[in-house]
Chains A and B, each alone.
Chain A
Amino acid sequence: MAAPPRPESIALLDRLMAALEAKGIVTEAEVAARQASTDKASPETGARMVAKAWTDPAYRALLLSDGKAAAEQMGVSMAGAPPLGVLENTPGRHHLVVCTLCSCYPRAVLGYPPNWYKSFAYRSRAVREPRQVLAEWGLNLPDSVEVRVVDSTADYRWMVLPMRPAGTEGWDEARLAGLVTRDAMVGVAVPVAG
């Protein structure tokens, strides 16, 4: 049986790569290295950062002032990555991150964005009716809480530092990290103990 025909899109990619190499802009090895580091990134990284911030005030201060440095301290390679901003939820304020223009997402610490984050529905609704969107996911915030939608429109990537849930006193970092989901770091959920 003959091999299936090579899609034109792959041939186009080959020509693009060859042109980039010829112009000295990027090498095949650099692309492979970036792909490997993106593949390796996952929400577990962000969860470890959040858990450390919950237990270590100095790390919390670093995380909120310079997210990139805080990620590097956890062993994440941030070379070439955009600046990472971290926004702290408080009893009076809840952050929700969206990118209405495309799908900007803190991949270095959260991995690939979920499909819903890139969907037209989420991108258009989160910025306009955030409380309804959250309610559909089962998160009903009291009226006393300000919902602050963060539209990721330019050079930063934004992550939410959720509040540490009650009932976790004395827990160590690893156990705390187990509570911190990807959704909690985007702001569409909050961590709950047990």
Chain B
Amino acid sequence: MSAPDDRATAGGNAPRFAAGATVRVKDDWPERRGPCHIRTPHYIRGRTGTVVRTLGAFANPEDLAFARPAAKRPLYHVLFAQEPLWHEGKPGDTVMVEVFEHWLEEA
């Protein structure tokens, strides 16, 4: 969406991935290391999806939740095929999730 993208570049947070890029969500489980606040749902960790759009840059909720200084991080809409996530469902159905850039890697 257009307006927040300007904020992303203004803050030096130019997005690393473009629409159409294939990305993998990190298979990381900070919950095992101690108290945390993570906005990346469990069911997409380690899974591969496609960037639909950049959504701008937003303060990192993982720091915000603990009142720590929170740098702005690029946020993406990432699309996943429904059936591989759950091993059920109709091929062609999808799930679209907001994911922060530090949770994504090239796939």
Contact = CB atoms under 8 A, between A and B. Distances in A.
Interface residues of A, number: 26
Contacts of B93: 130-131, 146-149
A112 interface: no
B3 A66 contact: yes
B90 A151 contact: no
B30 interface: no
A101 B41 CA distance: 7
Interface in A58-89: 65-69, 83, 85
Given A66-B1, A149-B82, A154 B89 contact: no
Interface string B47-91: 000000001101001000000000000010001001000101110
A125 to B, nearest CB: 11
Given A129-B89, A146-B92, A148-B93, A83 B56 contact: yes
B11 interface: no
A103 interface: no
Nearest to B94: A148
B91 to A, nearest CB: 10
A146 B41 contact: no
B41 A153 contact: yes
Contacts of B4: 83
Given A66-B3, A127-B43, A143 B90 contact: yes
B21 interface: no
Contacts of A130: 82, 89, 93
Top 8 A-B pairs, shortest CB-CB distance:
A154-B98, A155-B58, A147-B93, A151-B97, A149-B95, A153-B98, A148-B94, A153-B39
10 contacts: A83-B1, A128-B89, A130-B93, A143-B92, A148-B95, A152-B98, A153-B40, A154-B100, A156-B55, A156-B98
Interface of B: 1-4, 39-41, 43, 55-56, 58, 61, 75, 79, 82, 86, 88-90, 92-100
